[in-house]
Each structure stands twice: as structure tokens, then as C-alpha cells.
């Protein structure tokens, strides 16, 4: 969803900077009644907008980087998210009652999984590889009669 806003944001910012710099040249002299500092305000505003747009475009990298340092653990009693660099970010969900899994996009190779226990508690696992495998591991085997 972030790309829906980020791509037009960055394209608009390039046009903004091109317009106010005169084709990516340093601004020349301004004409009366505009003060000499006015183009510089527009240029610095464009640079700030460009940096924030590039930051939005790099969001998948930061999710991937956070996921590389996190461990997702599922036992018969609890679900855990352990971040081995930031101990305060560790999360635990005690599995009591009915347990269900909600996968953001089950057909993708990498997807988010939400572990739900009861109606009010949940724990989100980010960028899990092969989410279908999680479902096959957690489903009880059915025996044929």
C-alpha cells in the first residue's frame, strides 16, 4: 500500500525540483516582486519531500531487515517472536483456547501470519517464508478409516 503513495510522491517531487531549479540548474536571479531566497525555500522543500519519498520506497527493505533478526517460534503452549538484537521487542502469546491462523496472502512465497488465540489476542509474524507450510504443520493429521 505504501507504494501507491510513494511512487507518485517521488515523481511529483522530481517535477517539483525540475521546475524550481530550471532543469536541475541552480536557480538564477528572481524577478521583482519575488525575493532572492524564494527559490531556495522551494528547493529545500523538494529535497525534504524527496528524502521522505525515498524512505517510503525503502520500507520493504526495513521489514526484511527486521525479519532477518527475528525468530518465530510455535510450540504447543505458546507462540513467540524473539528479536535477538532488541530484547524489549520480544512478544509472547499463551495458547489457551481455540487457535487459528490468518495469512495475509496464502499464495505468495512470503507473507504475514497472524496467530489468534481466542477472540481478543493475536500475534503477528512478519514476512514468513512459505506460509502454506505453517498450515500443514499445525493441522492435525487425519486418519483414513
Q: What is the Cα–Cα distance from 43 to 46, expressed in whole angstroms? A: 5
Q: Pairing mode, if any, of strands 78-83 and 91-94?
A: antiparallel
Which 3 state secondary structure label does DSSP give 92? strand
pTM over 0.75: no
Which 3 state secondary structure label does DSSP give 66? helix
pLDDT at position 142: 45
Strands ordered across the beta sheet of 99-103: 99-103, 110-117, 121-129
pLDDT at position 145: 38
Per-residue pLDDT of the chain (145 residues), as tens digits, is: 788 899 999 999 988 888 877 776 666 666 677 777 777 888 899 999 999 999 999 988 887 787 778 788 878 788 888 887 777 777 777 777 777 888 888 788 888 888 888 766 788 887 778 888 877 776 655 434 3
Beta bridge partners of 73: 80
pLDDT at position 48: 96
Beta bridge partners of 71: 82
Amino acid at each position: 500500500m505504501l507504494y501507491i503513495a510513494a511512487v507518485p510522491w517521488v515523481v511529483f517531487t522530481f517535477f517539483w525540483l525540475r521546475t524550481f531549479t530550471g532543469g536541475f540548474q541552480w536557480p538564477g536571479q528572481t524577478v521583482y516582486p519575488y525575493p532572492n531566497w524564494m527559490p531556495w525555500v522551494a528547493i529545500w522543500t523538494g529535497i525534504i519531500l524527496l528524502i521522505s519519498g525515498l524512505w517510503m520506497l525503502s520500507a520493504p527493505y526495513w521489514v526484511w531487515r527486521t525479519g532477518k533478526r527475528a525468530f518465530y517460534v510455535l510450540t504447543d503452549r505458546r507462540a513467540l517472536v524473539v528479536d535477538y538484537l532488541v530484547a524489549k521487542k520480544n512478544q509472547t502469546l499463551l495458547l489457551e483456547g481455540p487457535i487459528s491462523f490468518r495469512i495475509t496472502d496464502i499464495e505468495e512465497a512470503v507473507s504475514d501470519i497472524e496467530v489468534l488465540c481466542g477472540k481478543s489476542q493475536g500475534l503477528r509474524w512478519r514476512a514468513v517464508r512459505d506460509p502454506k507450510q505453517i498450515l500443514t504443520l499445525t493441522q492435525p493429521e487425519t486418519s483414513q478409516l
